[in-house]
Amino acid sequence: MFNVKLILESKDKVIANLKNRNIADTQIIDDIISLDRKRKELVVESENTRALQKKMSKEMPVVMKNGTDDEKSDIRKKLKDLSEKVKSFAPDIKAVEENLSYKLLSIPNLMADDCPIGKDENSNIEISLSGDKPSFDFKPLEHFDIAKDSIDSERGTKLSGARFVVYKNNIAKLERALLNYMLDTANENGYCETMPPVLVSRKTMTGSGQLPKFEDDAYKTTDDMFLIPTAEVSLVNMHADEILNEKELPKYYVSYTPCFRREAGSYGKDTKGIIRMHQFNKVELVKFVKPEDSINELNKLLKNAEQVLQGLGLHYRVIELCSGDLGFNAVKTFDIEVWLPGQDQYREISSCSNTGDFQARRANIRFKRKDGGKPEFTHILNGSGIAIDRTIVAVLENYQNADGSITIPEVLKKYLNDAEAFTF
């Protein structure tokens, strides 16, 4: 949730942040200021009315004992009116607070001061390149042509509709190998492996920043539960409404889960193959850290994700997202884009973000320093460690051979009975 104090103290900065994120209509900021003022006025008026009621209640015994009939009747009427007025404030305050809360939940995070300013992905900045592009003495195929018999879109569509697939034979084995490789790598880097629920409450979705903005992209049940779009949702809320001790930080979590997205905003994109599906698999990394450590922890998180691709011997680049491409929750984001020779382009395979205290405010996650003081909000970071299905695409296209087989990357062989190659 956006910090209302920041809006009141730095209105111009918040408005500039919205405009740099391509949000032209900034009326919501004035609405929030008005609602916050109204809330404070109602609270003060309610407290003053309650104080008057309390004062008159103390006077009543004296009036009832010594007053005239008119005075007794008058004080009874006044106390009754005050009682009804005190009760009337509660629904008014609640309505204002709910409206204020909804609007605060609708504002994206304040981006870092050094975030590149730009309208869209064309203004993202390339930070680094790793490895070399593979060379072929034949025209490289796309993944869905290499393993067309093992990526069964026809049966996936028959079972569930468009953008669903069934993995078979060696693709199913490759999926399992990649999953284990990614989890083992995360474990070696100190992440606690977890298996959280993939069906979560509205509160949990709101706490991680998915709601209200992304409700149209989510799969929702009839009893107001949601299938997670990423394990970040579950992991971020692991410590919702808790106060951690400083010595517990940083906390690292890793989880493999299936993820579910309607992809409502991407109609017509990547309809062939497994780049963009309604159900996909991902290994997610989440960190809870002290505010002063979050910048350094983001760099470490990025290196953890890069390590997976380096182990697989894949060529990739790291880019920093500009203001117009930055995610709703993020202060700063680095994307990792892997080279896909069949498509002759880079595609995102991991995204590593620092959300500052934005998610911690929404989920009410705080920590207490060992030297005392008031509890503070933690900073929360998240990153794909990495997207498994897109890694399948990368392995297929980068390790393909002229005979239609693929060479197994060295780091995966131990998960595949030391197989040297797969055929499809």
In sequence order, what DSSP letters do the residues of 383-424 get, joined into one string? Answer: EEEEEHHHHHHHHHHHSB-TTS-EEPPGGGGGGTTT--EE--
Can you tell me the distance from the alpha carbon of 363 to that of 209, in angstroms, rounded to the nearest whole number? 9
Same domain, 95 and 131: no
Same domain, 364 and 418: yes
Neighbour tally for 229: CB within 10 Å: 21
268: confidence class by pLDDT, cuts 50, 70, 90: low
Same domain, 144 and 51: no
What pLDDT digit, counting tens, does each position of 270-305 carry? 778 899 999 999 999 999 999 999 999 999 999 999
pLDDT of residue 63: 86
pLDDT of residue 267: 61
Same domain, 173 and 321: yes
Residues of the domain holding 56 = 4-105
The encoded tokens of residue 375 equal: 């509890």
What pLDDT digit, counting tens, does each position of 231-262 carry? 999 999 999 999 999 999 999 999 999 999 99
Last residue within a domain, chosen from 35, 70, 105: 105
How many angstroms separate the first and last alpha carbons of the chain? 48
Can you tell me the distance from the alpha carbon of 204 to that of 228, in angstroms, rounded to the nearest whole number? 10
β pairing state of 379-387 and 225-227 = unpaired
Last residue within a domain, chosen from 71, 105, 139: 105
Q: Which of 77-81, 108-112, 299-303, 342-346 has the lowest mean pLDDT?
A: 77-81
Same domain, 205 and 353: yes
Can you tell me the distance from the alpha carbon of 222 to that of 296, in angstroms, rounded to the nearest whole number? 42
Which strands make up the sheet holding 376-377, listed edge to edge?
Answer: 242-245, 365-368, 376-377
Angle at 239 between CA 233 and CA 245, to 5 degrees: 145
The encoded tokens of residue 388 equal: 């498994």
What pLDDT digit, counting tens, does each position of 135-153 carry? 999 999 999 999 998 999 9
Same domain, 70 and 207: no
Same domain, 66 and 195: no
Same domain, 156 and 92: no
What angle in degrees, to the nearest 10, is found between the helix axes of 388-398 and 294-312?
Answer: 40
Q: Is residue 210 part of a domain?
A: yes
Q: Is residue 114 part of a domain?
A: no
Residue whose token pair is 């009337």: 88
Distances (CA, A) of 360 to 288, 327, 378: 9, 16, 6
- Which of 76, 37, 142, 71 lies closest to 392 in space, CA to CA? 142
Q: Is residue 369 part of a domain?
A: yes
Same domain, 89 and 235: no
Q: Is residue 250 part of a domain?
A: yes
- Which of 49, 44, 148, 54 lies closest to 96 in space, CA to CA? 44
Give the SS3 label for residue 251. Answer: strand
The helix or strand, by DSSP H or E, that contains position 14, with its residue range, turns out to be: helix 11-20
Averaged over 321-326, what is the pLDDT? 98
Last residue within a domain, chosen from 105, 135, 162: 105
The encoded tokens of residue 188 equal: 């070696």
Contact status, residue 333 vs residue 413, Cβ threshold 8 Å: no
Residue whose token pair is 């009326």: 27
What pLDDT digit, counting tens, does each position of 171-208 carry? 999 999 999 999 999 999 999 999 999 999 999 999 99
pTM for the structure as a whole:
0.92
Q: Is residue 168 part of a domain?
A: yes
Peptide bond into 250 cis (omega under 30): yes
* Cα dihedral 35, 37, 38, 44 sign: positive
pLDDT of residue 9: 95
Same domain, 249 and 344: yes
CATH number at residue 224: 3.30.930.10
Domain count, the chain: 2
Peptide bond into 212 cis (omega under 30): yes
pLDDT of residue 4: 93
Contact status, residue 95 vs residue 284, Cβ threshold 8 Å: no
- Which of 392, 393, 423 lies closest to 406 in space, CA to CA? 423
The encoded tokens of residue 230 equal: 């990423």
Q: Is residue 387 part of a domain?
A: yes
Same domain, 100 and 247: no
Q: Is residue 113 part of a domain?
A: no
Q: Which of 43-47, 55-59, 168-172, 268-272 has the lowest mean pLDDT?
A: 268-272
* Rg of the chain taking only CA atoms, in angstroms: 28
Contact status, residue 424 vs residue 347, Cβ threshold 8 Å: no
Angle at 250 between CA 244 and CA 252, to 5 degrees: 105
DSSP 423: -
pLDDT over 70, % of the chain: 99
DSSP 304: H
What pLDDT digit, counting tens, does each position of 48-66 carry? 999 999 898 889 898 888 8
pLDDT of residue 266: 59
Neighbour tally for 36: CB within 10 Å: 19
Q: How many helices (H) and strands (E) does the chain have?
A: 12, 18
Q: Is residue 112 part of a domain?
A: no
What angle in degrees, to the nearest 10, is found between the helix axes of 169-188 and 388-398?
Answer: 110
Same domain, 367 and 279: yes
